[in-house]
Amino acid sequence: MALIKSLVQDYVNDLQKDNDTIKAYCLDLERFVDNFGTREADKLTSDEINKYLLALTTELASALASQRRTDITLRLAVSITG
């Protein structure tokens, strides 16, 4: 069985990188490779993938909360300063 890193590289090489959505996918896949790239695909468990996805979800929620706080702070500053 092929390594995750090789499978992802082959997939990414087939994509058109001009599209912003595809660039975002490529970044996500790079993070996936950082975590699992040296593993053989058939050795990766669903539990490991679920833990990885949970960590991503937690990071995303934290980033979104931070972004919302920044947006609220900026709106407040604008409303105070007129």
Please report the pLDDT score of residue 16 as a whole number: 62
Q: Above 90 in pLDDT, residue 38?
A: yes
Q: Above 90 in pLDDT, residue 11?
A: no
Q: What is the mean pLDDT of residues 15-40?
A: 80
- Sole residue written with tokens 């975002």: 24
Inter-residue contact 15 to 25 (CB < 8 Å): yes
Indicate the length of the chain as a whole number. 82
How far is the C-alpha of 31 from the C-alpha of 9, rounded, in Å?
Answer: 12
Q: Of the given ranges (1-5, 11-15, 42-46), which has the lowest mean pLDDT?
A: 11-15
Please report the pLDDT score of residue 18 as a whole number: 62
Q: Above 60 in pLDDT, residue 82?
A: no
Task: List alpha helices for 1-82, DSSP H.
Answer: 4-14, 20-36, 46-81
